[in-house]
A and B are shown apart, each in its own frame.
Chain A
Amino acid sequence: MTRYAMAIDLAACVGCSACSVACTMENDVPVGNHRLWIRNTEIGTFPNLTVEFRPEQCLHCENPPCVPVCPTGCCFVTDEGIVDIDSKKCIACGACIAACPYDARSMHPDGYVTKCDFCKHRLEEGKLPACVETCPTLCRSFGDLDDPNSAVSVAIRTADRVDVLRPEQGTGPNLYYLNAPASFGLTTTVGQVGTEEGAH
C-alpha cells in the first residue's frame, strides 16, 4: 500500500522560498494563510555560526493529534497516509488547530480549516506536489515510503542524518529533515519565552 512521505535536505535548502510561493499559487492560499513557510534560524555564535533554512508545513503524522479531536470527523487520514480535511464537514471549531504541535493548520476566511495536503489533486494526476516540483536545489524528495526505490526512500536511506520535528510529541511525522547542520543539529524550538528570538 502507498504511504506518502516527504524529505527535505536541509544541507541543500537555500531558503529561497520558491516552494512557499508555488504552494500559495497552486492551492490558491488566501492572504494571511500559509500552508508552507520557511524558518531561518541563526545557530551558534561566531566563529561557530551557521544558518538553518527549514521549510515547515503539515507533517502528515502517523499518529496525528488533530484527527481524534475533530468533532465532526472532517479530519481524517487517507489510505495513502495523507492527513486530510473534508471542508464541507468542518465547523471551524479550532480543535485541530489547538491540537497541532506544528501550527500547520490555519483558518480559511471562508470558515473552514486548511493546510498542506501534499497537493493531492496533483498526485491524482500523477504529478509531484508543487513544492517538490518547483524546488531549484532539488532538496525535496517525495514518494512512497513503502517502496524502497522511491525518491523519498532513497533520500532517507542515503542521508547522513535524519530528523523529525518534536519527536517527543509521539506524532510520527512523515516529513523528514535530512542532513541538518551536523555540528549543531536540527534546531530545537523551545527557547526563551515570549520573544521572537526564542527558536534557539
Chain B
Amino acid sequence: MVEWYGLPWSQHFWHWPTLFHFAFVALAGGAAFVTMIATLRDHPRKRTYALITIGLIVLDLATLWAESPARWRFTHVWLFLAFTPTSPIWVGAWGLITSLVASFFVWIDRGPRMLWGALLVVGSSLALMYPGMALAVNTNRPIWSMMLIALFPLTGMVTVIAIAMLFKQAWANPFIVPLSLASAILGVVYLWGLATGIPEAQQGFAYLWSHGGPLFLVGLALLVAPAFLRRTPLLAALVPFVGATVVRSLIVEIGQHQFFGF
C-alpha cells in the first residue's frame, strides 16, 4: 500500500484543447504539404490551398492559445527569440511560422514561387513531424514510443487527404487507401511493439488497452475501411478521418500517464 503526504504531479498536463491542437496541426501541416506541391507544380489552385493553410495554422495557434495557462503572459515570443533545436515544440513552432509566411506569399502571388515552395518543403515537413517527435522524446512515458515519429505524420496526411476528398478534390482520391492502410499497419506495429517490448512498454500496452484499447482498435479498423469503400468517396474520406483522429487522440490522452507516480 502507498500513502502520500503531498502528491507528485501525476495528473494530466495536457487537456482537451490539446487534442484539438493535435488534430488541427495535422491538418495545417498536411495542408502546407499540399500547398507546397501545388506551388512547386504551379497548380492553378495553389492560392486557394495557401489560403486554407493559413486558416488552419491560425486555427491551430488559436487552439494552443486557448489551452495555454500562460494565455495573457505573452511569453510565447520566446519561442522565436530562443534557439532550442532539441525541443520538438520549438521545431514545430518554426515549421508552422515558416509555412504561414510562405503560404501568405503564395496566396498574394508575390515573390519567387520556387523559394516559397522550398520553404514549404521544410515548414510542412517540420509541422507534420513535430507532434510525434514531441511525444516520442519522452522516454519516461512508454505509450509515447518512437513509432509515433512515423505514425503521426502518416495519420496527419490521412486527415488532410480526407478533407481534400470531402471538398471534391479529385487528385486526392488515389492517396486515401494507401495512406490509411499504411497508418493502420503502423498502428498495429505500434501496438505490437508495446505488447512485446520491455516491461514498461508492456505496462504501457496494458494501460492503453484498459483505458481505450477497444476504441483504439475501432480507430484502426476505420483506417482499414477505405479499402472497402472505393465506390462511396464521401465515406472513404470521412471514415479514415475519424479513425486517424481517434488513434492520435487516444495516444496523446492516455499516454500522459507514467507509472512512477501512482
Contacts and interface: CB of A to CB of B under 8 A. Distances in A.
Given A71-B93, A72-B75, A111 B70 contact: yes
Nearest to B199: A190
A97 B259 CA distance: 14
Interface size class of B (residues with CB under 8 A): 35 or more
Contact of B90 (A71, A88, A112): A71
Nearest to A17: B5
Interface of A is mostly: loop
B193 to A, nearest CB: 17
Contacts of B203: 190, 193
Interface stretch (A3-11, A37-45, A135-143, A152-160): A37-45
A72 B74 CA distance: 12
A104 B9 contact: yes
B144 to A, nearest CB: 8
Interface string B64-80: 00001111110110110
Interface in B198-253: 199-200, 203, 206-207, 210-211
A20 B139 contact: no
B69 A71 contact: no
B2 A197 contact: yes
Contact of A39 (B4, B89, B199): B4
A15 B75 contact: no
Interface of A: 15, 17, 20, 33-34, 36-42, 56, 65, 68-74, 88-95, 97-107, 109, 111-112, 165-166, 169, 189-191, 193-194, 196-200
